[in-house]
Structure 1
Amino acid sequence: MEITAFVEPLVIFLILIVNAIVGIWQESNAEKALEALKEIQSEHAAVVRDGKKISSLPAKELVPGDIVELRVGDKVPADMRVVSLVSSTLRVEQGSLTGESEAVSKTVKPVAEHTDIQGKKCMVFAGTTVVNGNCMCLVTGTGMNTEIGKVHSQIHEAAQHEEDTPLKKKLNELLGEVQ
């Protein structure tokens, strides 16, 4: 038996091992990204619900229609529309969502419905942080129905939807020929 008889199976075996390592690495990165997104979320909020003020409601209990008071340093617990400014200005750090390097000024003036995230000056988004000012906001989306929830879903979907890479396609062809 010649040594070349072992070369092809050995190469296939090594390629399969490399492929498995790459797959595990990609899955690990996707899981880390999902965990990082979970850490962005706020834990509590000052809420006015049915005319009653609740000073510390768990953020996961917020529902669309709740009125939330945001102050400097607060993490925004849900996607919300700014309904009134308590201070003269409101600035929000939303780089975790949009990649913007500077805090963005917010206002109560409505914008067109299909405006991109950066153009929604009357909205604050879950996972962002108030860096200047106080305001009252109306909850419009919670959980997976927020902009950060959509990002979370897309990352999760991308991790689940594994398309064959060119390497995998060639391996499958090669394995088909060997069998």
Structure 2
Amino acid sequence: MALLSLPATPSTMDASAVTKSLRVDAKRGLSADEVEERIRQFGSNELPTKPSTPFWKLVLAQFEDTLVRILLFAAMTSFVMALFEKNAGDFVEPFIILLILVLNATVGVWQENRAESAIEALKSFVPKTAVVLREGKLVTVGAEDLVPGDIVEVSVGNRVPADMRVLELHSTTLRADQAIL
């Protein structure tokens, strides 16, 4: 079977053009062989997992900014100059600069950790199953088993398990709750 190429902008195409491009019959859906071939070609419908960044890398990343490096250099220079002075008050300036840099790094690491936690929380909202039309029958499959070209039935209250193109509406209204985004 020839490799399937995905349309670049299916949202701007007519529904029949999308089904033709994806080589799927809108009334029968995909066959088991087509599903297997598409899983081999495109992989499973899962968000990529990235290992969490080690704490020490998060801390080091806070000092990669040019302005932070300039302030770090200024603090070190000020500290060296204070070593040659007789006044103990000369150490206040480098101490304050370093304190600000440490506070900045602490806030940066905290924000990074919160962002990673938010992404993990979003993953819990992805539905686990979907109702698809395959070989002329509506069947429930795991969301990770969806492939390009699957005809997915979406009902009131359903969460959408993948990017989709609406082929047909059986209602006069369509409402989407994107509050989670």
Which TM-score applies when normalising by structure 1?
Answer: 0.46
Q: Which has the higher strand share?
A: 1
Higher relative contact order (CA 8 A, sep 6+): 2
Which TM-score applies when normalising by structure 2?
Answer: 0.46
Q: Which has the higher helix share?
A: 2
Higher radius of gyration, 1 or 2: 2
